[in-house]
Amino acid sequence: MKVLLSGAGGQLGQALIASAPKGLELVATSRQELDLADPEACRSAVEHHQPDWVLNAGAYTAVDKAEAEPELAYAVNARAPEAFARALDEQGGRLLQISTDFVFNGTQGTPYQPEQARDPLGVYGASKAAGEAALQNVFGAEGRGLILRTSWVIGPVGSNFALTMLRLHRERNQLGVVADQVGCPTSTLNLAMACWRSLEVAAESELPAVMHWSDAGAASWYDVAVAVGRIGAELGLIDTPAEVQPITTADYPTPAERPAYSLLDCTSTRAALELHGEHWQQALKAVLQQAKTP
């Protein structure tokens, strides 16, 4: 099986490369090698490599910056997956599109099901929702395009909330972190496993067109920040955790509005992939262990 991977330099891309199954022919492309803002480059990559799968792990993920750069956000998050889908529709092959909890508005207060209607709040969520819609428009009900939504991605490399909090615990005595936004962190280590498992299962049986994957449990950003301090101290990554104070979203205004409750229901996906969810605190510990430096 030949897989064309986008976003190879990102935190998920690096986890995917590190955990790629043996015997897989992986064509890993970073931003320098494949500019997702260029639909023609996406189409050409498919035509040149003729993959069995495109695993589109690349994305424009700067949620606040997207409000000021909507054209770039839509180019990367919507037009790139559409270009991949159209090229694969002509050449043959399938697409696994990584998407986000931000396609929902976060107002219902219960976990979101994969089949629920999209209703994003800001440019980032809207651009990812448009990418989902474009994929579905191209492939229809053929089952050649799969969407895997995830949330609050953290990993041992790159830029993410866990590593930022680890640094701030080292630098400060006190932190204020938003406590009224609820979701669930997702380790890139576990997300990569779910991606590869999706391709494996899809080769033998039909998967749901839209799937949800996060680590298990629920948390606020405040909960995660506290856990980073506690686990970081246990691992010897910091001397003494900072005191973390809960604040509200209103206390920490941002350009982009964020969903207040974006927990994803992963029950059907775990059953389809025959994978158990790891609690987010255990997953966080594994992330911080790998992020440990001498």
- Contact 58/76 with Cβ under 8 angstroms? yes
- Pairing verdict, β 219-220 and 182-183: antiparallel
Instruction: Write out the two tokens for 83.
Output: 């270009």
Q: What is the spatial distance between Cα 48 and Cα 31, in angstroms, rounded to a whole number?
A: 17
* Helix residue ranges, H only, the chain: 11-18, 39-49, 70-74, 80-91, 123-139, 161-171, 188-202, 221-234, 267-273, 280-291
Q: Which of 124, 222, 252, 261 is catalytic?
A: 124
CB atoms within 10 A of CB 282: 15
Angle, CA 155 vertex, CA 125 and CA 229 arms, to 5°:
105
Rounded Cα distance, 98 and 87, in Å: 18
Give the type of residue at 163. Answer: L
Contact 27, 2 (CB under 8 A): yes
Reply yes or no on whether 124 is catalytic: yes
By annotation, the residues acting in catalysis are 124
